[in-house]
Amino acid sequence: MERNLMKGNEALAEAAIRAGCKCFFGYPITPQTEISAYLSKRFQKEGGIFLQAESEIAAINMVLGAASTGVRAMTSSSSPGISLKSEGISYIAGSDLPCVIINVQRGGPGLGGIQPSQADYWQATKALGHGDFQLLVYAPCSVQEMVDTVTKAFDLADEYRMPAMILADGLLGQMMEPVTFPEKKESFKDKPWAANGHGGKREHNIINSLYLQPDVLENSVKARFERYEDIKAKYAEAEMYLTDDADIIVTAYGATARVAKSAVNMAREQGIKAGLIRPITLWPFPVKEYQKAAETAKLFLCTEMSMGQMIDDVKLAINCSKPVEFYGRTGGVIPKPSEIFEEIKKYNGGAK
Residues that bind another protein (CB under 8 A): 22-23, 25, 49, 51, 53-55, 57-59, 61-69, 71, 73, 87-88, 91, 95, 195-201, 204-210
CA distance linking residue 12 with residue 1, whole number of Å: 18
Q: Which is nearer to another protein, 186 or 226 (CB)?
A: 186
Three-state DSSP state, 241: strand
Question: How far apart are alpha carbons 118 and 91 in whole angstroms?
Answer: 25
Q: Which residue, 71 or 280, has its beta carbon nearer to another protein?
A: 71
8 Å CB contact between 181 and 19: no
Q: With respect to another protein, which residue has the nearer C-beta, 55 or 338? A: 55
CB of 104 to another protein, least distance (A): 22
**To the nearest whole angstrom, how small is the minimum distance from the Cβ of residue 51 to another protein?**
6
3-state secondary structure 41-56: HHHHHHCCEEEECCCH
Q: How far is the CB of 37 from another protein (least distance, A)?
A: 19
Residue 217 C-beta: closest distance to another protein, Å = 14
* Residue placing its CB nearer to another protein in the complex, 67 or 344: 67
Q: How many CB atoms lie within 10 A of CB 337?
A: 17
**In terms of CB distance, is 26 or 286 closer to another protein?**
26
In the bound state with another protein, the residue whose beta carbon lies nearer, of 57 and 333, is 57
Q: How far is the CB of 97 from another protein (least distance, A)?
A: 10
CA 305/CA 300 separation, integer angstroms: 17
**Rounded-to-10 torsion of CA 104, 94, 122, 75:** 0
The answer to whether 124 and 282 are in contact (CB under 8 A) is yes
- Residue in 124, 38, 137 with CA at minimum distance from that of residue 79: 124
CA distance 147 to 170: 16
Minimum distance, C-beta of residue 28 to another protein, in the bound complex (Å):
15
- Determine contact, residues 12/35, Cβ cutoff 8 Å: yes
